[in-house]
């Protein structure tokens, strides 16, 4: 990784995660206010684009689960293991059910659900998560997970007051703006700060690089669908 980041040295009074978000700059803003998420909130996103998005998103859920599983194994205490395990339970239950119901409503064929043709950005997202889980420290895994979940909380909060109509729009927003998810993201942010505080300079740089990479990948991922 060769991203030019400096979050191993935050500004005075600034936590590590906030420094990473600040340094993401325009990419962070582009992800949180992307035209794709605006169209989703307005209910104007074409159903075919939503189906395409959900197929690609679902393609890396298993990788996300595996990566978080590695974090559970590397976590410093039972409290952190329990918090991450609760998140995994939500992803593999309520969120998975949402995907299946949405696939049914959008008439997504079984082959596309289980064996989709992956887009290049999807493959890069999978590779980033696999690498974090396989080779990254606990802090590096958190720094990979945090931007994705934080971005989803941010854009969902911006769309929460809208009524997009179809359940596959509304419930996707609701899954990412409820109190439990918000609390998890805040915990994840604090836990990332704690991991960074305990890490050496090299590991903090690696964490910052992984954070920056995931922000850019989220923008690239949304880019694939908003013009459809």
pLDDT in tens, 126-156: 999 999 999 999 999 999 999 999 999 999 9
pLDDT in tens, 212-228: 999 999 999 999 997 64
CATH at residue 191? 1.20.910.10
DSSP letter, residue 11: P
Amino acid 226: pLDDT? 79
Query: Which one, of 129, 132, 143, 108, lies nearest residue 15 by Cα?
Result: 143
Q: Report yes or no on 165 lying in a domain.
A: yes
Q: Report yes or no on 35 lying in a domain.
A: yes
The C-alpha atoms of residue 22 and residue 205 are separated, in whole angstroms, by 15
pLDDT in tens, 46-90: 999 999 999 999 999 999 999 999 999 999 999 999 999 999 999
Local confidence band at 202 (pLDDT 50, 70, 90 cut-offs): very high
Q: Report yes or no on 96 lying in a domain.
A: yes
Q: Report yes or no on 6 lying in a domain.
A: no
Q: Which residues contact 110 (CB under 8 A, 6 or more apart)?
A: none
The C-alpha atoms of residue 174 and residue 172 are separated, in whole angstroms, by 5
Q: Report yes or no on 10 lying in a domain.
A: no
Q: Report yes or no on 11 lying in a domain.
A: no
How many separate domains does the chain show?
1
Global confidence as pTM: 0.94
Q: Which residues contact 116 (CB under 8 A, 6 or more apart)?
A: 55, 56, 58, 59
Q: Report yes or no on 87 lying in a domain.
A: yes
Provide the angle, in degrees to the nearest 10, between the axes of the packed helices 138-159 and 61-74.
130
Q: Which tokens go with 89?
A: 């339970």
pLDDT in tens, 158-186: 999 999 999 999 999 999 999 999 999 99
Domain extent, residue 63, equals: 16-223
Q: Report yes or no on 124 lying in a domain.
A: yes
């Amino acid at each position: 990784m060769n991203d030019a980041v400096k979050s191993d040295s935050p500004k005075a009074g600034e936590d590590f995660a906030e420094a990473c978000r600040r340094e993401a700059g325009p990419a962070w803003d582009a992800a949180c206010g992307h035209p794709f998420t605006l169209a989703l909130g307005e209910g104007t996103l074409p159903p075919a684009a939503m189906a395409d998005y959900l197929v690609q998103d679902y393609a890396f859920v298993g990788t996300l689960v595996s990566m978080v599983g590695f974090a559970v194994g590397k976590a410093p205490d039972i409290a952190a293991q329990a918090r991450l395990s609760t998140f995994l339970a939500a992803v593999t239950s309520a969120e998975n059910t949402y995907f299946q119901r949405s696939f049914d409503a959008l008439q997504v064929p079984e082959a596309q659900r289980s064996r989709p043709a992956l887009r290049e950005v999807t493959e890069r997202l999978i590779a980033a998560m696999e690498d974090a889980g396989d080779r990254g420290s606990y802090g590096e895994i958190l720094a990979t997970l945090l931007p994705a979940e934080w971005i989803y909380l941010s854009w969902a909060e911006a769309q929460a007051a809208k009524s997009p109509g179809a359940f596959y729009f509304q419930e996707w927003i609701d899954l990412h703006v409820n109190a439990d998810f918000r609390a998890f993201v805040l915990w994840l942010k604090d836990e990332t700060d704690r991991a960074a505080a305990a890490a050496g300079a090299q590991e903090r740089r690696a964490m910052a690089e992984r954070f920056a990479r995931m922000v850019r990948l989220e923008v690239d991922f949304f880019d694939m669908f908003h013009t459809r």
